[in-house]
Amino acid sequence: MHTSGLTIQAVIDSILSYLPVKLGPNTVDTLKCGDPAQPVRGIVVTFMATREVLQKAVELDANLIITHEPTFYHHVDQTDWLDTDPISSGKKKYLNDHGLAVFRFHDGPHVMQPDGIGSGMIKRLGWTYDPAQKHVVTAPAKTVRELADSCKKLLGISHVRVAGDLDAPCNRIGLRVGAAGGQAQIALFREHNVDVVVCGESPEWETCEYVRDAVSMGQKKALIVLGHANSEEAGMEWIASWLRSVLPPEILLHHIAAGDPFRVV
């Protein structure tokens, strides 16, 4: 059994000290379960602390899981509504039985300059970030169809959803990872004149309908929906690399992809 000599709380405090701003009192970036005084044996970084990811962490003898999204199916991990639920209870029991600690690291990556999750996506996709225009990137000129195919290939995913003209040319891309919401996504069309918005997810009565109406009015706009996990896992892989650069080298650290929960049938 390998231990780093640092406690879980010491590692968390160290990570937060490297952020450009102090997170506010309402941040979701807190320890969700586990003993903060426990020595760290190893760290697993992931988009989502799924049961499968937890099992892999145990196999790696890692006892601190750093997850981007909630562990208990609610943004702030409230579990009172799941007190008698066998899935939630079984997950808690597994965490407790194996002495695992879960730290949510959601707000921290998004306050980095530039956004840490976006940086990982841009690196994976080979795009260029425009520092003068937040959330705007450029890519070699291609059609929306070619851009969608490139996203699938480079992210290793089976499918994306597209609204708009698949054959329209696109070079200026608005990137909103995760679930930024329709107003933030549509603002990229309105304020930055992007050709296409690439996002994690979007309510189906918002951005896709804006794009549908734009196309009907003769404008060449499009929306590519990757799926939430698919739009942020490369970002958490980047965060894992960042953590290796700021944490002591003796801490064993692994990135485990949670994967896309959806299948095409």
Whether 4 has a pLDDT exceeding 80, the answer reads no
Q: For residue 3, what pLDDT is reported?
A: 63
Two structure tokens written together for 227: 């799926």
Question: Over the stretch 110-163, which tens digit does the pLDDT of each residue have?
Answer: 999 989 999 999 999 999 887 778 899 988 878 999 999 999 999 999 999 999
Question: Over the stretch 164-190, which tens digit does the pLDDT of each residue have?
Answer: 999 999 989 999 999 999 999 999 999
Residue 261 lies in a domain: no
Q: Residue 2 — very low, low, confident or very high, per pLDDT cuts 50/70/90? A: low
The domain spanning residue 30 has which CATH number? 3.40.1390.30
CA 159 to chain CA centroid, Å, is 18
d(CA 201, CA 69): 14
Range of the domain at 213: 116-226
Of 118, 255, 103, whose CA–CA distance to 178 is shortest? 118
Q: For residue 223, what pLDDT is reported?
A: 98
Residue 3 lies in a domain: no
Q: Domains in the chain: how many in total?
A: 2
**Are the CB atoms for 228 and 261 separated by under 8 Å?**
no
Question: Over the stretch 6-22, which tens digit does the pLDDT of each residue have?
Answer: 999 999 999 999 999 99
Question: What are the backbone dihedrals phi and psi of residue 153, each rounded to the nearest 5 degrees, phi first?
Answer: -65, -50
